Amino acid sequence: MSRLADRRFATVVLALALLALAGCAGEPDGPGEAAASTPAKPAYGDVFVEPILGNISGLIPQLTNDMISSQVSSLIYSGLVDLDDHSRFVPALAESWDFGADCRSLTFRLRKNVRWHDGKPFTAADVLFTHAALVHPKTPTARRDDFAAVESIEAPDPYTVHVRYAKPYARALMSWATAMLPAHLLRTWVEQGKLREAPQHWTHPVGTGPYKFEEIRSGEKVALKANPDYFAGRPYLSRVVYRVIPSQATIFLELKAHGLDSAGLMRGLTALQYTRQTEYPAFRKAYAKYRYPASQYTYLGLNMKDPRFADRRVRRAFAHAINKQELIDGVLLGLGREATGPYKPGTWVHSPNVARFPYDLAKARTLLAEAGWTEKNAEGLLVKDGKPFTFELLTNQGNEERKKVAEIVQASLRELGVGVEIRVLEWASFIKEYVKKRRFEALVLGWAIGEDPDQYAIWHSSKTGPDDLNHVSFQNAEVDELLERGRTACRREDRVQYYHRIQEILAAEQAYVFLFFRDALPVVARRIRGVEVGPNGLTYEFARWYVPRGEQRYTAD
Amino acid sequence: MLLYALRRLLLALPLLIGITFVSFLVIHLAPGDPVELQTGDPSIESSAQAQKMLRELYGLDQPLHRQYWNWLTRIVRLDFGRSFAPDGRPVIQKISERLPVTLLLNVIELLVIIALAIPIGVLSATRQHSLFDKVTTVFVFVGFATPDFWLALLLMMLFGVQLGWLPISGLRSLNWEYLSFWKQHLDFVAHLLLPVIVATFGGLAGLSRYMRQSMLEVVRQDYIQSARAKGLAERVVIRKHALRNALLPIVTILALSLPGLIGGSVIVESIFAIPGMGQLMVQAVFARDYPVIMGNLVIVATLTLLANLVADLAYGFVDPRIRLAGRRSR
């Protein structure tokens, strides 16, 4: 069981976690495309060649922050639990688990006869060690908070672990999806505070996952080979080779020349490549294209410290004035979905029953008029108290998508008589000088959403300080309370009510003008079978992917 | 001569320290620091505690002069330190695994450029305003003006995708380990072919123009006149009398291009997915990975100073006049 897709955003974004999904199926492109999974006899063998854009930065996953490293290490390591392609919790190293009635204790029963890649048995001691390693003051990890929340942890026998939290912690189960680390190899490194220098971080990682580390050539490739003793069954594909190719253009050419088996399972094609440049028979014959909503949305943020934007009617007017379908068609070539709130459509936490703001200029004008914007000056701009309604819209350099969004927003608001000036800034100074210091009027940005729906850091009114993430300064007492309840409940049935209500308020208030979720557009070589796309991507069952004997390309076994 | 070389070497030492000091200062004054870049992503909720810990780990909590002193005392023992990237690997290891490829690629490139540029320069100079002169002038300037990445992509599309003759990217095929000894080398050469062509095409203009210019100046000299007047064959005049003199400035240019040999071309390396120095350096700069940047800088600075020295020595060696003048002035 691989965790590639799940890990992606958990690593990139810690602030927001568990976004679990249900329903919302990803779609293979067109009816004929699904033929890629024609049944054939599963067979062992063949190599999967996957491009990565840059070098990995290490193989102990808790020490790295980048997507590429966690993609590679997700095949080497396993956690106690895993998330499937619908973001349901499934057993991994733990056979089962129970929450105590007060949500404060959690008991895992571990799988027996699991072995590390070096042959040593995996036991509860390794779980205790992983916890100790991550809370050790000298371990440079961004995951500490999850484990610092643990009040006590003990192992009454080698296959049982009791965890107790000081107060109910919603991310508790989620946090145990983290990679378990081998105590017998890493203990001394952790105790010396030198975990990063351990050979397991670079050349000799030892995990319990479906693939064993084989070789790394810095800047060139990372190779993994199947672990025949994997607890969930030996993976079919004998090897996985990650080739470092820093240029997207080169990846695409390699794909056309059949040198790769995917365009990157995490990233996939661009909208233009997907709709135009791959629409020829030879490509369609060699690759199956897939499509599912990416865990990322784009929004227009209005700084509510600015009295004009503190008025909800103005924000709602903007929402009516921006045609979201036009945005999706123009920017994503139609490959995206409208966002009505900060959760992915079709997931368990997403609520479809929120206020909608269809494209309606007349309504937008009425709303602005109610807010006191009635007069227009010679240039056709709305005027109040002698000042024309103009503002600066910021976004970051290097993201064409956001630049185009800003341009369409500019044109849409001009229709209302609102003047928008676009400024594109270099990322580091944009964040540091403008976003963090709240020196902006409006911005186009995106959030990658994690696997837990807790968005306390983004919406809570206590998080409006300079280094906090509530940069639009949204404040709502009810949302505050719901956020607090949501992060201290451990059952999804309870949490879902809180998060549905939060979405209703965020939509009604237009805390952001939510724009769209883009689609992820991966391709996989057709000789690979068993590929299934869920709302959470397609890599969850990677260990069950196979190539029928007759179609195997690489003979190395 | 030996004494002169020694003196120059000794003088280079304070210069090197000066260079590292100024660079150290400039790099640290540039906005953004590695800790902020690693933890400052607005989507990561990083505690101030995590930042503090990383700062201590990297020694960034100390005053700048202290940091420089720490770095300097380590570098004189040839300890380049550990990278600030999350892999935390020794800088020297990172550089040494990248250097051979870049060096190989650049040496081949330089040799091909010399082999082509010198004849082109000489021929265009001796046949100034001829059709050959005009055609090569246009050719080398087209090469100079063509963006690397564009040419690279076109060649990759033609030879890699359409014709399927050459590999598109990387250094070795995936089945490299299973190939026979000779096939391995052939495979390697096939992978290097396109990058070398692209790099050479762009670099041809400079050297061939210098060569042409230098040759044009030399053939106007009196001693060439007298050589011709002596009744020597034009071939001998050009090869023996003119070319040797015209090559002098080229020697300097070549010597000064030595440090460039270890700095890879970012564009060529990225497009062809070659794990060289260019990529390492760019990533280091973006991540504000000070130890890697400084390590690379020390190597380049040392090589530049050495190359200067070599150029001067070589000059004296090729041209007796300079050697004599040098002695008198001391």
Interatomic CA distance for residues A9 and A451, integer angstroms:
7
- Residues of A in Cβ contact (< 8 Å) with B85: 57
Which residues 446-465 in chain A show a CB within 8 A of chain B?
447-448, 457
Q: Find the CB nearest A58 among B47, B86, B270.
A: B86
Which residues 14-73 in chain B show a CB within 8 A of chain A?
31-32, 36-47, 50, 53-54, 57
What ipTM was reported for this prediction? 0.79
Chain A contact for B270 (CB, 8 A cutoff)? yes
User: A-B interface: how many C-beta pairs under 8 angstroms?
Assistant: 142
- Residues of B in Cβ contact (< 8 Å) with A253: 153, 156-157, 160-161, 168-169
**What is the enclosing helix (H) or strand (E) of B18?**
helix B2-29
Structure tokens at A450: 């994690």
Q: Which of B250, B283, B292, B265 is nearest to B105 (CA)?
A: B265
The model's pLDDT over B218-266, given as tens digits with 9 standing for 90+, comes to 888 888 888 888 888 888 888 878 888 888 888 778 877 777 777 767 8
Cβ–Cβ gap B164/A257 under 8 Å: yes
- The three-class DSSP label of residue B147 is coil
Q: Residue count of chain A, please give it.
A: 557
**What is the enclosing helix (H) or strand (E) of A98?**
strand A94-99
Interatomic CA distance for residues A87 and A100, integer angstroms:
22
What pLDDT sits at residue A17?
30
End-to-end CA, chain A: 21
What pLDDT sits at residue A239?
93
Specify the pTM. Answer: 0.81
| Rounded average pLDDT per 10-residue block, chain B, 330 residues | 80 89 87 70 55 78 86 86 82 88 88 89 87 89 86 91 88 81 88 90 84 88 85 82 83 77 79 87 84 88 83 72 53
Distance from CA of B231 to the nearest CA of A (A): 59
Interatomic CA distance for residues A106 and A303, integer angstroms:
41
Chain B contact for A232 (CB, 8 A cutoff)? no
Cβ–Cβ gap B270/A246 under 8 Å: yes
Q: Find the CB nearest B156 among A221, A253, A429.
A: A253
**Which superfamily, per CATH, for B97-289?**
MetI-like (1.10.3720.10)
Cβ–Cβ gap A144/B272 under 8 Å: no
What pLDDT sits at residue B325?
53
Structure tokens at B284: 């280091």
> Domain-by-domain residue ranges, chain B?
97-289
Interatomic CA distance for residues B31 and A159, integer angstroms:
51
Residue of B nearest to A202 (CA): B87
Query: DSSP readout, A187-255?
Result: HHHHHTT-GGGSGGGTT----SSSEEEEEEETTTEEEEEE-TT-TT---SSSEEEEEE---HHHHHHHH
Chain B contact for A443 (CB, 8 A cutoff)? no
Interatomic CA distance for residues A82 and A61, integer angstroms:
15
Q: Which of B224, B251, B257 is nearest to B317 (CA)?
A: B251
Cβ–Cβ gap A219/B275 under 8 Å: yes
What pLDDT sits at residue A184?
94
Q: What is the SS3 assignment for B19-43?
A: HHHHHHHHHHHCCCCHHHHHHCCCC
Distance from CA of A464 to the nearest CA of B (A): 13
Structure tokens at B88: 């935390």
Cβ–Cβ gap A142/B39 under 8 Å: yes
**Sequence-ordered list of residues with C-beta below 8 angstroms from that of A108, at least 6 positions apart, any chain:** A80, A94, A96, A97, A127, A160, A161, A163, A176
Q: Find the CB nearest A15 among B44, B57, B276.
A: B44
The model's pLDDT over B29-48, given as tens digits with 9 standing for 90+, comes to 877 777 776 665 544 445 66
- Treating both helix axes as pointing N-terminal to C-terminal, what angle do B181-219 and B91-126 enclose, rounded to 10 degrees? 50
Residues linked to residue A110 through DSSP beta bridges, in sequence order:
A94
Chain A contact for B175 (CB, 8 A cutoff)? yes
Distance from CA of B320 to the nearest CA of A (A): 47
Cβ–Cβ gap A220/B170 under 8 Å: yes
What pLDDT sits at residue B322?
63
Cβ–Cβ gap B157/A254 under 8 Å: no
Residue of B nearest to A197 (CA): B88
Residues linked to residue A375 through DSSP beta bridges, in sequence order:
A383
- pLDDT tens string, chain A, 557 residues long: the values are 333 333 333 333 333 332 222 233 344 444 334 444 456 788 898 999 999 988 888 899 988 877 888 889 999 999 999 988 777 889 999 999 998 888 889 999 999 999 999 999 999 999 999 999 999 988 877 777 788 889 999 999 999 999 999 888 888 888 999 999 999 999 999 999 888 888 999 889 999 999 999 999 888 899 999 999 999 999 999 999 999 998 888 999 999 998 899 998 887 888 888 988 888 888 999 999 999 888 889 999 999 999 999 999 999 999 999 999 999 999 999 999 999 999 988 788 889 899 999 999 999 999 999 999 988 888 889 998 889 999 999 998 878 889 999 999 999 999 999 999 999 988 777 887 888 888 999 999 988 887 788 888 889 998 888 777 898 999 999 999 999 999 888 888 888 999 999 999 999 999 999 999 999 999 999 999 989 887 778 888 899 999 998 888 886 54
